[in-house]
Chain A
């Protein structure tokens, strides 16, 4: 298939190939690719026991025995169809960028299903190494795999590993380099389909070759994809050669007629039967014991106990965050002077004012991330890596359906209780844009750590802890109500849950710490600059006296409808930048931490409720715009504002009756 474009491209690449190698990791979701990536590069990369979180390609470098290696972690995918962006992206990466070797990481305990993808990789005719990971999990299920037999069946070197314990990684690296440098001899095997299919693939491949259509992809692969009715490939082929398109259509029809099934289904089921044949040849199953993790599973998925566990996990996570957060933030505020940063008394030079703002933003960031966000993500990472979160998603599926989402959406939603920003990123695990938007919309109502600080500092401290908890309950009700409305307004159909349930396991220390750090880092990079810039500009606005005017303009809303003091306008404007500014500025303005001297319990409650709902912070708006476009971001903000005004007004009138 030597084609001019390809040859010249690879010739150019050849020159700096002596030292430098590119290794791509490919495989199903949650087979331990990211763990291997970490082992190889020591870099940070989100890893967890829920499928599909590597939504962007991550890159790292490795120096091994005099080799400079770039390691690419491709997203976890199950096939190379064009129905998901990750799949298309991965196959184009492999075809166009031509990594020196692709390491196909497969889960030894689910060999058959993983081989389905391996066969597709083999069809791309690229240098391959198989990393047979989680052999320990397979063993605990009573499965033993004959590595040599598997190598012989596939014609590809196979290295067994237990990535979480670093076992086999050295050997894997060595083998990958050997294959990349072509110093090891490999016997490439072409996996053959049934005769009726195979002869037609052959015929089509020959035609493709004679028409010189194969540029980046091998002709056989194009032939298979055409028969599978792959829209992307079909489009390219139709534009280049009508003849090939016509012939492939006829051939696909022939196959469909013989097998009484559409051609793509025939090819898929033949691929599965090949995978089944190979896996049953190389794998022996001793008595299937009930593993400890399976026994444990009933606690997480039992009819009644499962719900208690799910609720307990979420409640425990929040409780832990607030207990630890409260303790740590007390310590920190003593150290840094928590309430000092925003000091309205500051006048003087503009530089002084700005500096005060910048420093204030920095301190606020530190006192938010360290006490609240880090402990939250640490425990969340443990819940994720153990696989418990998948069970929570399983149990919560029917509840999430009520707002047009499915169980998997609980994962970004819980993340939102730490910080909305990474949570909205995590919405990418949802299948369609519609679901991503619905999930992100729900997340903007989730009380993140900053909003929790406001609730803790106002309601929990001065009204009662029960009322603080009630606010969380009200928030859940609001999420549910607005979710229902959004569902009606956003057109389209909901997709259902299809999620792999991996075995429960003891979380790995290195995975958990790395994931916690990666998430916290994304907040630091995204949120800190906005905090600092926002805080500085607020300081300037305050000194210029503009905030008072805004307050005045907003007073019909704040004073009449919500029953708050007119200063609330300022607070809410500032809160857009950072939610906890509502509390900080309140304290600063009144010059006392005893808020009850100036506000009654109803006002404190309404203020906390409004603060929780009224608008996403600037960082969140930025990420919303980035993910979904500015129109959607604005629509979400407007929905937030309206629901806050409505909920706040109602709460004010009802609460006045109670207190």
Chain B
């Protein structure tokens, strides 16, 4: 069991290190409203536990292990926000603070049930941030609905870290692992050659939140940003 404090750190780091950046101690201290000295102390501890790679000058990066925890907490946080906002219709800044409290006590089982209940939301209602995918070994949401309905045996957890296509840069290569959405979205992508296991290469990223062009099975596809943010890949090579 990861302590609430550690979860808070990893959540903050997850946010700060999106797009492959490193987080500085100042950034972390500002984001958590904790004195820099205490932050440094904590980072050292997190490094010992294998959650982060920390060096005093180069900044802090999450390890795969740390990233999984950070992602999970972020996911719970954003799912809770969606629930508070869309279902309970609480429309003030309270939802963020409440979600911050609730995220640590939400069990994984409740997290999955919440995701299904909300029909696998992909974005936070208030700030439009992407809700990270679940860490079950599903390749799409249809599967999740089918399994739980029939009560089939427990499915394993995912080992690898997933990135949405929308966060990839030009020339990145990835393998599709998970597609969020209903059968209709799945079918559209499937017909164009995008299914779990497919290798893709990012050809071009349009500016201003525009679409992303990917090479798939010898053809080129333009994917709108919202679609691309629901197709999660395992990054195979991130150097051009």
List chain A positions with a Cβ less than 8 A from chain B: 78-79, 81, 83, 109-113, 116, 253, 256-257, 260-262, 264-265, 268-269, 272, 276, 279, 301, 303, 306, 390, 393-395, 397-399, 401, 406-407, 431, 494-502
Contact = CB atoms under 8 A, between A and B. Distances in A.
Contacts of B36: none
Contacts, number: 132
Contact of A395 (B150, B193, B210): B210
A227 B112 CA distance: 27
A110 B143 CA distance: 29
Contacts of A301: 204, 206, 213
A498 B188 contact: yes
B222 interface: yes
Interface string B212-229: 010011111111111110
Contacts of A83: 183-184, 187-188
Nearest to B207: A303
Interface string B177-220: 00000011111111111011110000010111111010011111
Contacts of B187: 79, 81, 83
Interface stretch (B14-22, B26-34, B73-81, B134-142): B134-142
A265 B186 contact: yes
B87 interface: no
A499 B206 contact: no
A109 B215 CA distance: 13
B1 interface: no
Contacts of B217: 110, 112-113, 272, 276
B152 interface: yes
Given A272-B193, A497-B224, 19 more contacts: A79-B190, A81-B191, A83-B184, A112-B193, A113-B216, A260-B155, A261-B196, A265-B139, A265-B195, A269-B197, A276-B217, A301-B206, A303-B207, A395-B206, A401-B209, A401-B226, A431-B188, A500-B192, A501-B213
Interface residues of B, number: 45
Contact of B220 (A262, A393, A494, A500): A500
13 contacts: A261-B196, A265-B140, A269-B196, A269-B197, A393-B222, A394-B222, A397-B222, A398-B210, A398-B211, A401-B225, A407-B211, A407-B224, A499-B221
B222 A497 contact: yes
A109 B221 CA distance: 14
Interface string B101-143: 0000000000000000000000000000000000001011011
A497 B143 contact: no
A306 B223 CA distance: 17
B108 to A, nearest CB: 19
B146 interface: yes
Contacts of A501: 213, 220-222
A237 to B, nearest CB: 19
A398 B209 contact: yes
A496 B227 contact: yes
B193 A397 contact: no
A406 B211 CA distance: 10
A394 B211 contact: yes
Contacts of A81: 187, 191
